Amino acid sequence: MMRLLVPPVAFSVFAAALLGGNGQAPAQTGEIVDRSQLRVCADPSNLPFSNEKGEGFENRVAQLMGEELKLEVSYVFFPQVVGFVRNTLRARRCDLVMGAIVGDDILQTTNPYYHSAYVAVWRTDSGFAFKGFDDPRLRSLRLGVVSATPPTNLLVTHELLAQTTSYALMVDTRYESPAHQMLEDIAARKIDVGFVWGPVAGYFINREKLPLDFAVLPNLPGAPRMEYRIAMGVRANEPEWRRKINAAIVKRQPQITALLREYGVPLLDEQGRLQKQP
C-alpha cells in the first residue's frame, strides 16, 4: 500500500487513495448525488484508523462530520488493496474518504484536519535517543521498517538496510498488522529501533502501555518527505460537497484535534515541530 519515494499510503484509508487509481483519471461525476446520509469509504479492519466496530479515530471523526452536517453516517467497507478508490468513491458507493494526503492527484482533497509524520521508535530503557540517520550508533543496532515506506529510502541512503528487518507492506489487515508487530518486537527487544507512521506508533504505545519512546523524523534535502498534512477525499467536480466538508472541518476542528490526541496521534505545528500535549 505504500511505494518508495511517494507520500505515505500504508496505514490509513488515505493510503489506498494512491493505490486505488490504477493510473486512471478521476471520474467526472457532477453533483447529482443522494445526500440523505454521510456515506464513508473505509477499511473494515485497520486500527487506529477504522474498523467495522467504529473504534478507529477516522470512524469517530466521521461521526463528528455527520453531526455537523446533520446526516446519519453509513459505511462502505473495502480492504485497503489496489482498487480501493475505484471500487468505493469512484463507483459512487460512498462519498467521503476520511484520510487523504493534501494535494493528492487521485482524488480531490479538502482542507487538512491534521498534520503528522513518520517517527523513530525505541525502548525507553535502552539508553538510546534518535538524533538523526548520521548517528553512528545506528550501525550497531537492529532496525525495522515497513517495506517501501518513505523511511526505507533514508536507510538505503545511509547504508543501514543490511541490519534492517523489513515488515510486509501489502497484507490482509483483517489478519496482520506489520507496523503493530514491529512495535511489539521493539518492546520485546527483538529489534532496537523502528521507523513507522506516527499515528500508528502513538496509538499502540498509548493503548498497550508499551515501554517505548519516539522522535519525529526530519525532512532531509533530496529525500522523501517524512511529514504530511492529512485531509478528506471527495470526487472531482463536486465543489459544493467539498465546500460543505471544509466548513464542517472548520467548525469541528477543536473536537477533531482533541480526539486525535486521545488516540495518541503525534501532531505537528505549522513549522513541522511536534506539538506538546496541553
More confident residue, 189 or 8: 189
Helix, strand, coil fractions of the chain, as percent rounded to 5: 30, 20, 45
Whether the pLDDT of residue 73 is over 70: the answer is: yes
Which domains are delineated in the chain? 13-114+228-262 (3.40.190.10), 117-216 (3.40.190.10)
Q: Which distant-in-sequence residues (6+ apart) come within 8 Å of 91 by Cβ?
A: none
Give the pLDDT score at 7.
38
For residue 121, which phi and psi values (nearest 5 degrees)? -125, 140
Whether the pLDDT of residue 111 is over 80: the answer is: yes
Give the pLDDT score at 169.
82
The answer to whether residues 83 and 20 touch, using CB atoms and an 8 Å cutoff, is: yes
Instruction: Please name the residue ranges forming H helices in the chain.
Output: 13-20, 57-69, 84-87, 150-157, 178-187, 198-208, 239-262
**For all residues of the chain together, what is the average pLDDT?**
88
Least confident of 95-99, 105-109, 162-166, 243-247: 105-109
Give the pLDDT score at 130.
97
CA distance 270 to 206: 25
Least confident of 2-6, 42-46, 250-254: 2-6
Instruction: Provide mean pLDDT across the span 107-120.
Output: 97
Give the pLDDT score at 174.
76
Whether the pLDDT of residue 194 is over 90: the answer is: yes
CA distance 112 to 170: 26
pLDDT band, residue 8 (cuts 50/70/90): very low
For 124-179, the pLDDT digits (tens) are 999 999 999 999 999 999 999 999 999 999 999 999 999 999 998 877 777 788 99
Instruction: Please state, in angstroms and as integers, the Cα–Cα distance from residue 138 to each residue in 2, 97, 131, following that order.
Output: 24, 38, 10
CA distance 49 to 202: 12
Give the cell for residue 145: 521498517
Give the pLDDT score at 89.
94
CA distance 105 to 99: 14
Instruction: Provide mean pLDDT across the span 258-268.
Output: 97
**Cell 506539538 -> residue:** 275
Q: What is the pTM of this model?
A: 0.87
Whether the pLDDT of residue 98 is over 90: the answer is: yes
